[in-house]
Amino acid sequence: MSNTTGNTLFAILTGVAIGAGIGILYAPDKGSKTRGKLKDGFDGVKNDLQNKLDSVSLQLSDQLTTAKFDLEETYEDLVSNMSHKTEEVISFLEEKLADLKRQNAKLQK
């Protein structure tokens, strides 16, 4: 969770707590009704937070899946590229070896 999201979550929870405290102090209803309202309010906030958490979790999972796919693709491209370069180096070395053998054959005559 980023610092901004953490600060936002803290601000929401602080606001809920302050609001609940003020609501209790100035509540015209009986205590049981006030507790019921508070419970409903907390349940609503809890559900909202759970929905947001689920949404962030899903987004993070999607991003990780995409990053994993991109990493695998990059790795495969790198391996393929290195394979082609290796073949080029081997061909170059074989040509040089053939040239050296020809030069050596001329010198031995």
By mean pLDDT, which of 51-60, 78-87, 97-106 is the weakest?
78-87
In this predicted structure, what is the pLDDT of residue 94?
92
Calpha distance 73→18 (Å, rounded): 51
Q: pTM of the entire structure?
A: 0.43
- Residue 2, pLDDT above cutoff 70: no
3-25 helix and 31-107 helix, angle to the nearest 10 degrees? 180
**For the residues 45-55, what does the mean pLDDT come to?**
88
